[in-house]
């Protein structure tokens, strides 16, 4: 079964695409090795053409992806904030404005994993400051964690899909109530 939600708006789409480089429900991981990860990221315009990644960079990207998912989860903790701050210290040089007047965080490099992490951090920071980031969230199902953009009026969706994770949750809840009674 496929995920059926429409993609995030353009300014958040890179975060959603990167965050969904793993489909845990289907045991799929796009960031498996340097060549595979670089190809996948280039195909989605997340890495410049011709970019290559080293082994350690792929592991770093996977750790960052999970930190990003944790940050987007409304149950994020102090360790997640500390990890994000560490990524900021390692990949960004400071804040300022781009040539078009847009507030931005400047990357220390535009290459490799650190360049990608810096760009994604800048997007995250900007969207967090405007409040738009609260609509990008991971599915509440711990075995899924697929990122989706919540377009509901109240912004209170918790499942990537009611047909997949929502239905599974309802069934588990129903079964647990039957066993209790």
The domain locations on the chain are 13-134
Closest to 116 measured CA to CA, from 167, 46, 23: 46
- Rounding to the nearest 10 degrees, give the CA dihedral for residues 59, 26, 39, 44: -110
Q: Tell me: pLDDT of 176 over 90.
A: no
Distance (Å, whole) CA 136 – CA 5: 12
pLDDT averaged over every residue in the chain: 90
**Which one is predicted more confidently, 74 or 93?**
93
Please, are residues 146 and 20 in contact by the beta-carbon 8 Å criterion?
A: yes
Give the mean model confidence (pLDDT) for residues 68-81: 89
Please, are residues 156 and 143 in contact by the beta-carbon 8 Å criterion?
A: no
**Residue that is written with structure tokens 């300022």 in the block:** 96
What is the share, in percent, of the chain residues with pLDDT greater than 70? 89
Give the mean model confidence (pLDDT) for residues 5-13: 94
Distance (Å, whole) CA 15 – CA 143: 20
Give burial (CB, 10 Å; 0-12/13-18/19+) of 144.
Answer: buried
- pLDDT band per the 50, 70, 90 thresholds, residue 37: very high
Closest to 118 measured CA to CA, from 25, 5, 14, 9: 14
Q: Tell me: pLDDT of 181 over 70.
A: no
Give the mean model confidence (pLDDT) for residues 37-45: 97
Angle between helix axes 55-72 and 34-43 (nearest 10 degrees) is 50
Distance (Å, whole) CA 111 – CA 153: 39
What was the pLDDT predicted at 102?
84
Backbone phi and psi for residue 77, each to the nearest 5 degrees, phi listed first: -120, 180
- pLDDT band per the 50, 70, 90 thresholds, residue 14: very high
**CATH classification for the domain delimited by 13-134, as one of 1.10.3300.10, 3.30.1330.10, 3.30.1330.40, 3.10.129.10:** 1.10.3300.10
Q: How is residue 163 written in tokens?
A: 């047909």
């Amino acid at each position: 079964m496929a995920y059926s939600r429409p993609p995030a708006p353009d300014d958040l789409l890179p975060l959603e695409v990167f965050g969904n480089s793993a489909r845990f429900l289907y045991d799929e991981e796009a960031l498996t090795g340097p060549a595979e990860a670089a190809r996948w990221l280039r195909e989605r315009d997340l890495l410049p053409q011709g970019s290559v990644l080293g082994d350690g960079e792929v592991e770093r990207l996977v750790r960052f992806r999970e930190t990003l998912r944790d940050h987007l989860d409304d149950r994020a903790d102090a360790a997640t904030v500390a990890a994000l701050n560490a990524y900021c210290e390692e990949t960004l040089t400071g804040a300022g404005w781009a040539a078009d007047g847009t507030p931005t965080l400047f990357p220390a490099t535009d290459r490799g994993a650190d360049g990608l992490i810096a760009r994604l951090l800048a997007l995250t920071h900007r969207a967090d400051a405007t409040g738009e980031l609260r609509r990008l969230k991971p599915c509440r199902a711990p075995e899924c964690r697929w990122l989706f953009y919540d377009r509901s009026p109240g912004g209170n969706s918790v499942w990537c899909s009611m047909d997949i994770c929502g239905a599974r949750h309802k069934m588990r809840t129903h079964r647990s109530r039957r066993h209790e009674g």
